[in-house]
């Protein structure tokens, strides 16, 4: 029998009075590479943190000694990234990412690598493997979500862990990025690679790397199944909960939709220093059109969206019309935001610890990161309506940061939808959702666009995540518009 590497016996975790994991027991042996999978909120990330010694648990987790170390070094590559400024604090606000003057306060990719690997870090084999060499002088604040993900992995590998726990590492990566990461995980997980860490992957069951041999399936905090990958019961199609159409009838019609063009751009160009992010973009989005915006990580998608959401000051230096009004002609950013619902992969980072789920959703009424005013009775009813629509009503009083990534994402989607705005900008909205949540959300967006003349701009790296109502397409590559 192969050597026992990790033994979990009756591992249980409670947070905030709620049971997150309940009596989890399974063993990992030499030669096995495991993935932990399950629906959103099933306890996957909590288990990863328990393995790394970052969460208190009851029961027993025992690792076999690793080399000279009695206790192996376990590093978790988080699903969500954060970044600190040069003062070693996280005092960033969302719009700062797009302000070139503020970028000087952010560490660069090279400086972060130097912090973690010393002078040799930039020469590490992982820098070219993860396509980080061209980004060494770029501020963290201005990286795309996928670029940040690659940096996270490089930093973890430079720490030379005995165990590398990857929490949904494919989230936010484009097709090429996923292919590259598959190759790296397969290399690390391949038998006989001297000095490689053991891999524990937290991911959806679809598209697991070839090196994965075993799966642990969690369901509402319990271990539903554990064993060889080829025997795992993972083939059932996702069935979304029913969409309560009666709740949709209570939504008001979008206010402020008396325009012809939601967006009109004429040769729009954005540069930061000598780096061109957007290069002479022409684009028209008419009222009621439903667009998919696509392109590889770093293509300029988030920058393009920031010009529309009034978060990027370079909008004033370009010929841009929003809701038929030229930018810089007297409108305020709040006039624009009032007509826009928006979600991005990074938005959760900017909410303060202690913010309740109710407050996160309610903040969408005022386009603020947090709730700073009292609600009317009608506004409270609207928040509760959206919590019901997205099956989040039971979470209203819980702290936002105590939720799983999928639950956080559903609440941020409710925040974007709460005004039923004439323009919806959804940047990777299904990122972090499980299959059932993704199917449900697509159905909801299709229904809203069927009932109302909602204009939609939808970003996704996954064709299966795009709602059926989308019928127009814009692709960016290297900051340029690619047609056809």
Q: In this structure, what token pair is assigned to residue 87?
A: 């003062």
Helix runs in 322-432, H state only: 333-337, 357-362, 377-389, 405-417
Identify whether residues 198 and 302 lie together within a single domain. Answer: no
Phi, psi of 265, deg, nearest 5: -125, 140
Q: Identify the pLDDT of residue 480.
A: 95
Helix axis angle, 435-451 relative to 405-417, nearest 10°? Answer: 10
Asked whether residue 115 falls in the same domain as residue 28, the answer is yes
Beta sheet of 423-427, edge-to-edge order: 340-343, 423-427, 455-459, 290-294, 472-477, 480-482
Which H/E stretch holds residue 255? none
Here the tokens at position 31 are 């030669």
Q: Which domain holds residue 352?
A: 245-482
Indicate the helix (H) or strand (E) that contains 166. strand 163-167
Q: pTM to 2 decimals?
A: 0.84
Cβ–Cβ < 8 Å for 293, 301 = yes
- CATH code: domain of residue 188: 3.40.50.300
- Kindly state whether residues 60 and 159 are assigned to the same domain: yes
CA nearest to 178, candidates 186, 188, 187, 169: 169
237 belongs to a structural domain: no
Whether residues 368 and 424 fall in one domain: yes
Question: Are both 195 and 297 inside the same structural domain?
Answer: no
Judgement on whether residues 360 and 225 belong to the same structural domain of the protein: no
Domain count across the chain: 2
Please tell me whether residues 257 and 356 are part of one structural domain: yes
Instruction: Give, for all 484 residues of the chain, the pLDDT tens digit.
Output: 578 999 999 999 998 778 999 999 999 998 899 999 988 889 998 999 999 999 999 999 999 886 665 678 899 988 766 666 666 555 554 544 555 555 566 788 888 888 887 777 887 888 888 888 988 888 887 777 778 888 888 899 888 888 999 988 887 778 888 888 888 888 887 754 556 788 899 988 877 899 999 999 999 899 999 999 999 887 665 666 777 777 777 777 788 889 999 999 999 999 988 889 999 999 999 999 999 999 988 899 989 999 999 888 899 999 999 999 999 888 888 889 999 999 988 787 778 888 999 999 999 999 998 888 899 999 999 999 999 988 899 889 988 988 888 888 899 999 999 999 999 999 999 988 888 888 899 999 999 999 899 999 999 988 889 999 999 999 999 999 987 5
Q: Which of 174, 199, 231 is the last residue of a domain?
A: 231
Question: Which helix (DSSP H) or strand (DSSP E) does residue 78 occupy?
Answer: none
Yes or no: say if 421 and 341 are a contact pair by the CB < 8 Å rule. yes
Q: Are residues 216 and 295 in the same domain?
A: no
Judgement on whether residues 60 and 154 belong to the same structural domain of the protein = yes
Closest-CA residue to 295 (of 174, 169, 142): 174
């Amino acid at each position: 029998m192969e050597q026992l590497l990790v033994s979990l016996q009756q591992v249980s975790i409670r947070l905030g009075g709620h049971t997150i994991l309940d009596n989890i027991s399974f063993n990992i042996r030499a030669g096995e590479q495991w993935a932990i999978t399950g629906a959103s909120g099933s306890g996957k990330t909590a288990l990863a943190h328990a393995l790394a010694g970052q969460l208190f648990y009851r029961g027993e987790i025992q690792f076999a000694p690793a080399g000279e170390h009695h206790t192996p070094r376990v590093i978790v590559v988080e699903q969500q990234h954060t970044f600190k400024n040069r003062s070693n604090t996280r005092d960033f606000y969302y719009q700062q990412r797009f302000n070139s003057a503020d970028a000087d306060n952010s560490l660069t990719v090279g400086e972060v690598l130097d912090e973690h690997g010393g002078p040799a870090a930039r020469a590490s084999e992982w820098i070219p493997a993860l396509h980080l060499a061209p980004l060494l002088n770029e501020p963290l604040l201005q990286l795309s979500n996928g670029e940040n993900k690659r940096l996270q992995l490089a930093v973890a590998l430079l720490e030379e862990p005995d165990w590398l726990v990857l929490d949904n590492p494919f989230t936010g990566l484009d097709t090429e990025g996923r292919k590259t990461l598959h190759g790296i995980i397969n290399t690390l997980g391949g038998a006989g690679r001297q000095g490689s860490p053991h891999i524990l992957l937290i991911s959806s069951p679809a598209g697991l790397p070839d090196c994965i041999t075993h799966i642990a399936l969690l369901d509402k905090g319990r271990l539903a199944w554990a064993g060889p990958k080829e025997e795992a019961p993972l083939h059932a199609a996702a069935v979304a909960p029913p969409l309560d159409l009666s709740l949709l009838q209570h939504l008001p019609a979008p206010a402020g939709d008396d325009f012809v063009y939601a967006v009109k751009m004429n040769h729009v160009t954005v540069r930061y220093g000598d780096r061109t992010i957007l290069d002479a973009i022409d684009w028209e989005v008419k009222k009621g059109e439903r667009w998919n915006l696509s392109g590889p990580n770093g293509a300029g998608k988030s920058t393009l969206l920031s010009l529309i959401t009034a978060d990027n000051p370079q909008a004033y230096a370009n010929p841009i019309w929003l809701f038929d009004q030229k930018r810089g002609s007297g409108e305020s950013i709040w006039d624009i935001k009032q007509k826009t619902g928006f979600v991005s992969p990074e938005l959760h980072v900017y909410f303060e610890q202690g913010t309740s789920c109710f407050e996160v959703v309610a903040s969408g009424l005022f386009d603020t990161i947090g709730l700073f005013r009292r609600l009317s009775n009608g506004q409270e009813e609207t928040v509760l309506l959206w919590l019901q629509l997205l099956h989040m009503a039971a979470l209203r009083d819980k702290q936002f940061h105590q939720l799983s990534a999928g639950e956080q994402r559903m609440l941020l989607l409710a925040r974007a939808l709460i005004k039923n705005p004439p323009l919806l900008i959804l940047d990777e909205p299904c990122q972090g959702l499980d299959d059932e949540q993704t199917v449900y959300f697509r159905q909801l967006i299709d229904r809203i666009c069927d009932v109302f003349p909602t204009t939609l701009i939808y970003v996704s790296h996954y064709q299966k995540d795009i709602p059926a109502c989308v019928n127009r397409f814009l692709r960016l590559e290297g900051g340029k518009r690619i047609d056809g």
